[in-house]
Amino acid sequence: MLIASLLVASFVIFAAMYLAPGNPIAALTGGRSIPPDSIRILEARYHLNEPFLVQYWYWLRNVLHGNLGISITLRENVSTLIASRIWTTAGLVLYASIIILLIGIGLGVVSGLRTGPFDTSTLVVTAVSAAIPAFVAAIFLILLFAVKLGWFPALGNGTSFLDNVRHFTLPAFALAVSSLAIVARVTRASVREESNREHVQTAVSRGIPTRQVIRRHILRNAAIPVTTISGITVASLIALAAVVEVAFSLNGLGAFLVGSAQSKDLAVVQGISLVLVTAFVVVNVLVDVLYAVLDPRVSLGSRAE
């Protein structure tokens, strides 16, 4: 399944890049003309004038031999370039996921179980934050916490692990802010719905302590939709990270993908796409496994309800 996804994705992306207007050689020239001979030599070297399927076959054959190719702009191996950036994106997505899951699910559960001012304010806050795109959040966070207050750095990766955490805090929040709202809302709705189910009413009327009712009867059952939305959200973070990486000048795969797609650096785009598709598939598999754990009606290998 993974292999099939990768093959189809790589073909589609290659085709899209091929059809898109633009010229990777142009990215080397900085907006002034370079000698036509140089252009010709570079085009021949990277097979840029060959027909589409021939170019795709060159790339595929290399990949099957474990060679992801060479970046036209940097003249370095794509695998090296990806390896040096993958932990930045992974760290950012992980950090943002933790924020989303902790705060999103936390808020959703608490406001789902109560009514009143807390619930109303959660609704308002999530409505507002759902409307804030990641780059707007980035600008605002930089302005307030980096420039005005100086609590966090405005850009860069940081050096040691603790320094990394400090550098990644604002970007992680920027990335998390709109996804958080969706997770909170879905959690709240799911918890509400479970609270009104008959088996919960039965449990309450039988005198089972509230805490136990919440844990074993409400949350356990509300977990399925929450898992679904969390899985989708985390998977989507992998792509959204690009915007935040650019805004905070982080050395991640997303920013690199954006730049390479813009310069039509084919091998890099294909390589990163393979990584992203794999990550997406892995996250979905993890979600499926979680279903099986949470819902005894579901066994691995069958569809979740």
Least distance in angstroms from the C-beta of 30 to other proteins:
3
Interface residue with other proteins, options 1, 3, 19, 35 (CB under 8 A): 35
Q: Rank residues 240 and 290 by Cβ distance to other proteins and give the closer one.
A: 240
Contact predicate 13/273, CB 8 Å: yes
How far apart are alpha carbons 93 and 170 in whole angstroms?
A: 12
Quick check: 34 binds other proteins (CB under 8 A)? yes
What is the H or E stretch that residue 177 is in?
helix 161-195
Contact predicate 182/130, CB 8 Å: yes
Interface residue with other proteins, options 1, 3, 19, 37 (CB under 8 A): 37
Q: Which of residues 257-276 bind other proteins (CB under 8 A)?
A: 259, 262-264
How far apart are alpha carbons 104 and 86 in whole angstroms?
A: 26
Interface residue with other proteins, options 76, 114, 128, 131 (CB under 8 A): 76
Q: Residue 183: phi, psi to the nearest 5?
A: -60, -40
Quick check: 16 binds other proteins (CB under 8 A)? no
Quick check: 150 binds other proteins (CB under 8 A)? yes
| Both tokens assigned to 170 | 């604002």
Backbone dihedral region for residue 275 (phi beyond 0: left; psi -120 to 50: alpha; all else: beta): alpha
Backbone dihedral region for residue 71 (phi beyond 0: left; psi -120 to 50: alpha; all else: beta): beta
Stretch that binds other proteins, among 35-43, 103-111, 204-212, 270-278 (CB under 8 A): 35-43
Least distance in angstroms from the C-beta of 7 to other proteins:
27
Q: Which of residues 87-146 bind other proteins (CB under 8 A)?
A: 139, 142-143, 146
Interface residue with other proteins, options 69, 108, 153, 171 (CB under 8 A): 153
Q: E-strand spans in 131-193?
A: none
- Kindly write out the interface string for residues 214-253 of this chain, putting x where it contacts other proteins by CB under 8 A and - elsewhere: --------------------------------xxxx-xx-
Stretch that binds other proteins, among 18-26, 54-62, 107-115, 280-288 (CB under 8 A): 18-26
Binding site for other proteins (CB under 8 A): 21-23, 25-35, 37-39, 41-42, 45, 73-77, 80-81, 84-85, 139, 142-143, 146-147, 150, 153-157, 246-249, 251-252, 255-256, 259, 262-264
